[in-house]
Structure 1
Amino acid sequence: MITGALPTYRLPSSALRPGWPMLVIVAALVQQALSSLNCDVSWLITTAERVLDGARLYRDIEEVNPPASVLLYIPSVATAGLLGIAPEAVTVLLASMLAILSLRHVGRILAVPPAALASLGAAGAFILLVLPADLFAQREHVALIAGLPCLAVIVRRTRNLPVRAGDAWATGIGAGIMVAIKPHLILALALPQLWSSARQRSLDVLKSPEWLALAATGVGYLLIVLLVFPDYTAHMLPLLRLVYLPGRDSWGHLLTGTMVSIPATVAILTLWLARARPTNDVVVLLLAAAGFAAAGLVQGKGYLNHGYPAVATSLLAITLHLSRPGHARAFGAVCAAILALFATYSYARVPEPRALSDAVQRLGPAHPRLIGISFDFSLGHPLTRWVGGEWVGTRGSQWVTGNAWQQLENPALPATARRAYERAEQDDAALLAADITGHRPDIILVDDVPGPRWIAAHPPLARAMQGYRPARRVGTVTLWTKR
């Protein structure tokens, strides 16, 4: 049902306490103070530091994602350097501030009445600040924060309500930033916009300021990539096409993971509670969740951070439905809360290898120079930052070899492709050997996989390792120190 006014939001009076959003925000900050930013964020902070110190991205230090993933953390790293504090703290504070500003912008665009701001604000703050847990400040987390106001604009346009020009341009830029972070995420805007345009039987909205701003932001970013980061297109993209993009999780894992299962469950529950007649704002958010989930399936990795936007948006959808007068049903609210808490628990997975960090601190100097030989990206990150060390590798792990091995397991692989993957593995080992020889790390973290046999199979790497010896073993990792 399309009407000319926005829906009325209202939760029970017991929930309408102005202090609730602030309590959620404080809880989120406490959670982050007691937790850790995960390996991806830690690595990107390290990469941003190296870039600010003069390293050339994709040549002196390599990141598998486009430049936006590194540029995203430049402000927090630069600010932390000026203030003399840890970049992690600034990253958390900036992401929290952006989330709060995004929620305020959404509330103003949707004209949420004051009586409901506290309750909806608290729910939104939980979804954007507490739900991510150890995925906090991940690229997908920031992308959702940037793109959420554009979904609110789509709701207004669906109801033929005016949108202020400033809001339209601002939300379009935010949506452009979201798409620059992960181009696949355009699906989260395209699906609800296509539905809205079909309801209105017009595509004129594509000429609106928000879509023009999105396109302009995208074009501007593309020019930055081509002109400022030529190594990405010349060197990194061919390597990604060869070894990274073909590596996909199984469809069974993708479809049963939280990226699909939670949004699907929330959608079914919401449609059941709404008796298959959800309001337009709920439909927009459910379609956005479907778009986010589809974007994760396109990427095909099945990582938890890829699924967060779909989970968060679906929970926002059911929250809006339950906030409608007469719809705050206890069963639906309890189910939504259980799903939200389950997702939060699933995202709290950053391990803290105390034994490994203690061993590094005992064997190495005060600020050890580290490098790793492992397919596990989380081996060296955030461990390096926890011990106050310096990662001296060009790559964060042997992801090239790991992905090459995955493809080489295919017996039907053509001979040409097989040679290309074997060459990529050799280049990976040679680059690691050059890093060890050139930077002389204090400690080399050698995982059982690929392990010493892989080292011995590549003569340049074996020669580089001759200046080191196994010193201590922690779990599946052996710490090698200088002879």
Structure 2
Amino acid sequence: MDILPARPAPPPVPRLEQARETLHWMLALLPALPFLISALLPPLNHDVAAVLNFSGRWLDGERLYTDLIDVNPPLIFIINLLPAAMGNLLPINPVQALVLCVLGLMAGSFWLCWRLLPLLALPPIMRVGALGVLPITMLGAGYDFGQREHLMAITTLPYLVLAALRAEGRRAPPGLTLGVALLAAAGFALKPHFLAVPGLVELWVFFCLGPRRAFRDPVPWTMGGFFALYLLSLPLVFPLYLNQVVPLVLGNYLSLTGLGWWQVLTTERMMPIGVLLLVLGALASRGGTAPGRPVALAALGCFIAAFVQSRAWSYHIMPSKLLLGWLAALLLTHWAGRLMAPARAERAAAPAAAIAAFAIGLFHLMGSEAPYRQITWSWSRGGLLTEQLRREAYGERLLVLSPDVAPIYPALNYIRAQSTLRTMNLWLLQGVYHQCPTNGARYREPWDMSRTEFFVYRTVAEDFARAPPTAILVSDNAGITWCGNTHFDLITYFSRHPLFAEGFSHYRLAAAFEGYRLYRRED
């Protein structure tokens, strides 16, 4: 019997070349470091902190959508139960637990992309470039770290790689496919606006595969099943959200700060991203590779989601910005690979990833609130408020009468104080006083109030009388339009209720700072 000669072993990689590649990978991770440090330092994003605070109160026994009323659907509060519970059980506070959970989600998303990208027929320079810019892509949210849009963007990344694979008619291992689909579905279910992303991506996959093969694809069915179960849970488990909160949102919340469609598109945040989306989207559709096309469609879906919310806040446009940065890296590495010989392109993969990561890092740094908020936190309004409350009301129950989410949150999170207000702020009161009363009065009498206003007026007074808090924090600015040259005073407004007036007589002014007054109970 002839014995086949042994296959020669591949030549060893020179140590110098290995060291150079390691250095390039470290350089690719370096731009993400300032954003990582910013995520670990205060302040936590105010909206994220407010949601976490509500989940903590829910965990402590208060009833969601009865004692805790907010515009957000329940999924984000359910997710935040994990860091809230970790903060109670482990020697860390809930804010630290939430940051660790989001970083863990990033690590999971990176691992899924690392598993999926080799399944695509990509040249090494593009595969390495896609992986190399993932850390800065996920951490580039800056101050909006942990926002619902940020969580959605993180969970979308492996889904887009899987979509590119599916569009080529190939499949990932079943367990991996199921995990990616469920993770993405959870991210998209955080807000109904986010469904624009899978809508566009799945439509593209459908046209790539054709009807017969597309209907056999398990991903849209898995995601659709998740959405159906979540929708079914609303009337069954959270009926008050549909019966009470949604009417409040339609009647009061949507009118607070909405802009016209042309105003939204021409804001300093939306317009540059819109132009960049047109340019990169056109390049991806004409000369890009398979991964670039679903990323471009997802960025478009995120832009549509930001547009329909009619506010153009930084976190609304943030997912589009993150995805466009990743798309730019995909396109640049694709073109660089085409310009070089295959062997040279493979050697240039790690340096190209480092260069792309630095470029994307600078892109996300422009217009970002991080790390500047972290640098100025100790002497900012929010930092000063936090320190004052730490001295005056650490761990106490507080009635907070204010239109502000920031800087009330994350101040309450950092001082471990519990708000007794049923809403995060007085947005319902702002909604009903969006216009001055028609009779010229500064405050409506109880018999002239709408059901919404009387609900706020009554529940604040009754909750206050039933379980008096240790202190009351009142904003000097109610965030309500002046009427007849008279400002809206929150204490005067609620003191018209006998229960509130009697209870407030036991409180005395303890401090005034940063536009707030703090009253403490005497007995």
TM-score above 0.5, yes or no = yes
One-letter amino acid of the counterpart of residue 286, structure 1: A
Does the 8 A contact of 1:197 with 1:203 survive in 2?
no
| Residue deviations 1:268-297 (CA, integer Å, cap 9, x gap) | 453687795222321211111110111122
Instruction: State the Cα distance separating 1:248 from its structure 2 match.
Output: 4.5
Instruction: State the Cα distance separating 1:427 from its structure 2 match.
Output: 2.0
Match of 2:65 among 58, 71, 90: 58
Match of 1:194 among 193, 200, 203: 203
1:123 aligns with 2:133: yes
**C-alpha distance in 1, partners of 2:361/2:423?**
40
Go from structure 1 to structure 2 and tell me whether the alpha carbon gap of 1:119 and 1:332 turns closer, same or farther (over 3 Å shift).
closer
Instruction: State the Cα distance separating 1:187 from its structure 2 match.
Output: 0.6
One-letter amino acid of the counterpart of residue 169, structure 1: L
One-letter amino acid of the counterpart of residue 315, structure 1: G
1:146 aligns with 2:174: no
Find the residue that maps to 1:473 and give its secondary structure. strand
One-letter amino acid of the counterpart of residue 491, structure 2: I
Go from structure 1 to structure 2 and tell me whether the alpha carbon gap of 1:138 and 1:204 turns closer, same or farther (over 3 Å shift).
same
One-letter amino acid of the counterpart of residue 128, structure 1: M
**C-alpha distance in 2, partners of 1:358/1:337?**
32
* Number of the residue aligned with 2:386: 357
| Residue deviations 1:109-146 (CA, integer Å, cap 9, x gap) | 232677666643331101102x1122112222112222
Does the 8 A contact of 1:24 with 1:122 survive in 2?
no
Does the 8 A contact of 2:106 with 2:154 survive in 1?
yes
**C-alpha distance in 2, partners of 1:174/1:275?**
27
Does the 8 A contact of 1:357 with 1:387 survive in 2?
yes
**C-alpha distance in 2, partners of 1:469/1:33?**
37
Q: How many residues were matched structurally? A: 462
Go from structure 1 to structure 2 and tell me whether the alpha carbon gap of 1:184 and 1:407 turns closer, same or farther (over 3 Å shift).
farther
Does the 8 A contact of 2:133 with 2:357 survive in 1?
no
| Residue deviations 1:408-464 (CA, integer Å, cap 9, x gap) | 6999xxxxxxx9984422322322222322332222221123276343244224454
Go from structure 1 to structure 2 and tell me whether the alpha carbon gap of 1:155 and 1:260 turns closer, same or farther (over 3 Å shift).
farther
Find the residue that maps to 1:377 and give its secondary structure. coil
* Number of the residue aligned with 2:342: none
* Number of the residue aligned with 1:4: none
| Structure 2 residues without counterparts, runs of 5 or longer | 1-19, 338-351, 440-446, 479-486
1:375 aligns with 2:384: no
1:445 aligns with 2:452: no
Match of 2:288 among 278, 291, 296: 278
Match of 1:266 among 276, 284, 301: 276
* Number of the residue aligned with 2:521: 482
* Number of the residue aligned with 1:9: none
Structural mapping, 1:289-304, within 5 Å: 289-304=299-314
**C-alpha distance in 2, partners of 1:258/1:439?**
46
Go from structure 1 to structure 2 and tell me whether the alpha carbon gap of 1:181 and 1:409 turns closer, same or farther (over 3 Å shift).
farther
* Number of the residue aligned with 1:233: 242
**C-alpha distance in 1, partners of 2:305/2:335?**
33
Does the 8 A contact of 1:106 with 1:148 survive in 2?
yes
**C-alpha distance in 1, partners of 2:438/2:296?**
38
One-letter amino acid of the counterpart of residue 229, structure 1: F
Find the residue that maps to 2:520 and give its secondary structure. strand
Structural mapping, 1:29-40, within 5 Å: 29-40=36-47
* Number of the residue aligned with 2:79: 72
Structural mapping, 1:270-349, within 5 Å: 270=280, 276-326=286-336, 336-345=360-369
| Residue deviations 1:58-103 (CA, integer Å, cap 9, x gap) | 1122222011010111112222322231111121112112112212
Instruction: Provide the TM-score with structure 2 as the length reference.
Output: 0.78
Go from structure 1 to structure 2 and tell me whether the alpha carbon gap of 1:141 and 1:123 turns closer, same or farther (over 3 Å shift).
same
1:386 aligns with 2:396: no
Higher mean C-alpha deviation, range 84-93 or range 447-456: 447-456
Instruction: State the Cα distance separating 1:160 from its structure 2 match.
Output: 2.5
| Structure 1 residues without counterparts, runs of 5 or longer | 1-12, 412-418
1:424 aligns with 2:448: no
Instruction: State the Cα distance separating 1:348 from its structure 2 match.
Output: 5.9
Go from structure 1 to structure 2 and tell me whether the alpha carbon gap of 1:113 and 1:26 turns closer, same or farther (over 3 Å shift).
farther
Higher mean C-alpha deviation, range 274-283 or range 157-166: 274-283
Go from structure 1 to structure 2 and tell me whether the alpha carbon gap of 1:304 and 1:384 turns closer, same or farther (over 3 Å shift).
same
Find the residue that maps to 1:481 and give its secondary structure. strand
**C-alpha distance in 1, partners of 2:436/2:175?**
53
Does the 8 A contact of 1:372 with 1:446 survive in 2?
yes
Instruction: Provide the TM-score with structure 1 as the length reference.
Output: 0.84
* Number of the residue aligned with 1:172: 181
**C-alpha distance in 2, partners of 1:168/1:369?**
46
* Number of the residue aligned with 1:17: 24
Go from structure 1 to structure 2 and tell me whether the alpha carbon gap of 1:146 and 1:420 turns closer, same or farther (over 3 Å shift).
farther
* Number of the residue aligned with 1:161: 170
Match of 2:110 among 103, 114, 124: 103
Does the 8 A contact of 1:146 with 1:174 survive in 2?
yes
Match of 2:264 among 242, 254, 278: 254
Find the residue that maps to 1:301 and give its secondary structure. coil
One-letter amino acid of the counterpart of residue 465, structure 2: T
Find the residue that maps to 2:512 and give its secondary structure. strand
Go from structure 1 to structure 2 and tell me whether the alpha carbon gap of 1:428 and 1:476 turns closer, same or farther (over 3 Å shift).
same
Go from structure 1 to structure 2 and tell me whether the alpha carbon gap of 1:394 and 1:118 turns closer, same or farther (over 3 Å shift).
same
**C-alpha distance in 2, partners of 1:410/1:75?**
47
Structural mapping, 1:461-472, within 5 Å: 461-472=500-511
* Number of the residue aligned with 2:426: 398
**C-alpha distance in 1, partners of 2:430/2:175?**
47
Instruction: State the Cα distance separating 1:18 from its structure 2 match.
Output: 3.6
Structure with higher Rg: it is 2
**C-alpha distance in 2, partners of 1:216/1:296?**
25
**C-alpha distance in 1, partners of 2:212/2:369?**
41
Go from structure 1 to structure 2 and tell me whether the alpha carbon gap of 1:357 and 1:200 turns closer, same or farther (over 3 Å shift).
closer
**C-alpha distance in 2, partners of 1:224/1:151?**
27
**C-alpha distance in 2, partners of 1:96/1:25?**
12
* Number of the residue aligned with 1:414: none
Go from structure 1 to structure 2 and tell me whether the alpha carbon gap of 1:126 and 1:308 turns closer, same or farther (over 3 Å shift).
same
